[in-house]
Amino acid sequence: MEALKKKLYTESEYLELERVSPTKSEFYRGELFAMAGASRIHNLLVGNIIGTLWNQLQNKPCSVYPSDLCLRVNKSGLYTYPDVSIICGNPILAPNTSDTVTNPTVLIEVLSDSTEKYDRGQKFQFYREIESLQEYVLVSSSHKRVEVFRKMLDRNWLLLDSIETDSITLSSLECTIGLDDLYKGTTFTEEVNLGEGI
- What is the pTM (predicted TM-score) of this model? 0.90
Give φ, ψ of 133 to 5 degrees: -70, 125
Q: Which of 92, 86, 85, 100 is nearest to 14 (CA)?
A: 100
What is the per-residue pLDDT for 163?
Answer: 86
d(CA 84, CA 110): 9
- In degrees, rounded to 5, the angle at the alpha carbon of residue 109 between the alpha carbons of residues 27 and 11 is 15
CATH no. of 38-185: 3.90.1570.10
What b/e string do you get for 154-181 counting C-beta neighbours within 10 Å, with b at 16 or more? eeebeebebeeeeebebebbebebebee
pLDDT per residue over 1-56, tens digit each?
555 557 899 999 999 999 999 899 999 999 999 987 788 999 999 999 999 999 99
Mean pLDDT of the chain: 91
What is the per-residue pLDDT for 191?
Answer: 43
- Mean pLDDT along residues 122-147: 96
Taken in order 184, 81, 56, 128, the sign of the CA dihedral is positive
User: Do the beta carbons of residue 161 and residue 137 sit within 8 Å?
Assistant: no
Give φ, ψ of 80 to 5 degrees: -150, 175
CATH 3.90.1570.10 in the chain, residues? 38-185
- Mean pLDDT along residues 108-137: 96
CA dihedral 105, 183, 159, 108 (to 10 degrees): -30
User: Do the beta carbons of residue 17 and residue 48 sit within 8 Å?
Assistant: no
Instruction: Please determine, for residue 194, whether its predicted confidence score (pLDDT) is greater than 50.
Output: no
